[in-house]
Structure 1
Amino acid sequence: MNARTAAVVLLLAALLAGGTAAAVAHPDSPLTERVIVVESSDGETLIESDAEGFVLSYTHSVEKTPVIETYERRDGRLVMTRMEFSSYGAGLPAQADVERTGNGSFVFAPNDSTGELYVKPGRIAGHELRIDGETHDLVALSNAETVRIYVGTRTTLRPEIFQWD
């Protein structure tokens, strides 16, 4: 192979590699999927799931009553679709349009969207996250340190596709 042919081959390989990397890096690429990520304060991934949503439950620190928040993954963001609580207190939606359930709880459907959610799991509050049919104790998982929950992307490529013999 002469020098010119080798240069063309190298250029084509670089362009192909760059195009593949760009396709993999883009969140809407068919080579990636959106996932819900729960990350520790030092950036370690604690939970990663392709679930459509999750439920965050805890005991309100002042009222000592249960709070259940439901989130969905939409267009790369987290959307709180439902909040259920038993009494009004600090941080709960006192001015919101709420409905009463049969068990006496209040239900609020805010449809608020956020790029990321920070939760400080408390030992008394007992924060739990239900996702993919499993319940995770966020206090134990994070050692009661703040966690960040957001929608990320992961590649769907299998590493064995790129193994060279």
Structure 2
Amino acid sequence: MGGGLCALLLSFCATVAQSGSLTATHVDTDRILAVFDVPEGAGWCVLWHHSVQGFEVADCYENRDGRMVLVRSHQPDFAAGLGHIPGRGAQTSDGHGGYWIEGIDEPVRGNAYILRPGAGFVDHRIRMGGTEVSLSALAPRARVRIALTGN
């Protein structure tokens, strides 16, 4: 019985040590807009609609050893402000006329950044698994801090 309890405790400690939280906070009011449990190796995407072309763009991140890392980006077109920067990941076709930039593997400085969600159809969102939260609906044009914490 002692060995089973010890194994259970080790498993619990490993799970706790690998767990983090992704939090979106309104900078001016400190109001928490969204919180996601992000275990080690789990990922999420920040999505929005391009302000000129209207198609959806996605920047996807992972929790890697407690660090927020930009892993890849999906861009359906070479519209204004988009495009692959040589030496920063590899561009591959998405099979539908757009492209993925894979293998960016860029840690986000300080595990956080400020986003100013666009209003209306731009609709900045965070998606993790089957859950999606619209930052544009909760804090349009406000400064929102997106941070990975707790590791």
Specify if TM > 0.5: yes
Task: Spell out structure 1 runs of 4+ moving beyond 4 A.
Answer: 30-33
Contact kept in structure 2, 1:36 and 1:73, CA below 8 Å = no
Structure 2 unaligned regions, length at least 5? 1-15
1:160 aligned partner? none
Q: Partner residue of 2:49?
A: 59
* Residue 70 in structure 1 maps to residue 60 in structure 2: yes
Aligned partner of residue 98 in structure 1, secondary structure: strand
Over alpha carbons, which structure has the higher Rg?
1
Q: 2:100 aligns with which of 96, 102, 107?
A: 107
Contact 1:60 1:125 in 2 (8 A): yes
CA drift of 1:117 comes to 2.3
The AA in structure 2 aligned to 1:49 is F
Seq. identity, %: 26
Letter matched to residue 138 of structure 1: L
Q: TM-score, normalised by structure 1?
A: 0.66
Seen in structure 2, the aligned counterparts of structure 1 residues 32 and 66 have a Cα distance that, compared at 3 Å, is: closer
Aligned-pair CA distance for 1:31: 8.2
TM-score (norm 2): 0.71
Q: Is the 8 A contact 2:23 2:36 kept in 1?
A: yes
Return 86-95 or 135-144, whichever deviates more.
Answer: 86-95
SS in 1 for 2:138: helix
Aligned ranges 1:10-159 → 2 under 5 Å: 33-42=19-28, 43-51=30-38, 52-96=42-86, 97-109=90-102, 110-114=104-108, 115-123=111-119, 124-153=121-150
The Cα RMSD (Å) is 2.4
Check whether the contact 1:56–1:129 (CA below 8 A) recurs between aligned residues: yes
2: CA distance, partners of 1:104 / 1:132: 25
Retained in 1: the 8 A contact 2:116–2:140?
no
The structure carrying a bigger strand percent of its residues is 2
In the alignment, is the contact (CA less than 8 A) between 2:75 and 2:83 conserved in 1? no
**CA shift for structure 1 position 138:** 0.8
Q: For the Cα contact (< 8 Å) 2:18–2:66, is it kept in 1? A: no
User: For residues 70-92 of structure 1, what are the alpha-carbon distances to aligned partners after superposition, in whole Å with 9 as ceiling and x for unaligned?
Assistant: 11112332111111111113432
